[in-house]
Structure 1
C-alpha cells in the first residue's frame, strides 16, 4: 500500500502541473512550500518511504490544493474523486487537520505497541557481548 500511495502522490503532482502550468510543481518547489526536502518527497513518491509526519504534511499540502485525501488513502479509490469540488474552507482545513493529527497519534501508538512486541519476540543472542 505504501508504494501505491507514493505513486498517487506523484500522480497528483503531475495532474496539478497539467491543470496549472503557470505554477511550479517540481518536488523542489513543493519541498520549499511544505518545509520538507526534495529528497524526502522523491522517496515518498518513489516507494512510499517516509514518516507519518511526512505523509501527513504532503496529504495536507495536496488537500489545500484541492485534492481529495480519500483518493490517496483508500486502497480501492475507483469511485472516489481525485479532486475536491470548489474552494476548501478554513474551518474544513482545521477540522481535517485535527483528524489527521489524531490519526497520526493513533498510528504512532500502534507502531510503538507493535515495535515493542516485535523486540520482545526476537531471541537474544547468547553470544552477544553487553
Structure 2
C-alpha cells in the first residue's frame, strides 16, 4: 500500500560538480519563516523561479533538476512529508542556503550541505520557495 520507496544514493554523487562561480555569486540567505515553505509549487511558480535561476547564471546542466527538486514529491526523506518537516524543523537553521535573486526562494546545494544528513539534502540541490520570510544575510 502507498508509494514505492524512493531510492537515493547514500553517498554524495560526483556526477554533479558544484558550480562554484554560480553558487558563490548568490547571496547567503536566512529563512525567518520556515512554516511559509511552499511544498507543492504550481507550474507557473516553478517557471518564474526557473527564469530567475537562468538569469542568475545557473548552469543549464542542473537548472531543470533544481526546479524538479522544488516539489515535495522529489524531496529527500527528511523533508518528504509535512509531519517530517515539522519534526526536523530545528535542523533547518543548519542549511547553507543561497537566495535566488529577487525571489522568496533559496537554493540548498548538496555540495555546500554535506554536513547535513543524507535525508536532508539532494543532488545537485533543492529549491525551497516561500510565501514570505527569506532575507539576505
Report the TM-score when normalising by structure 2: 0.26
TM-score in terms of structure 1 length:
0.27
Choose between structure 1 and 2: higher helix proportion.
Answer: 1
Higher relative contact order (CA 8 A, sep 6+): 2
The structure with the larger Rg is 1
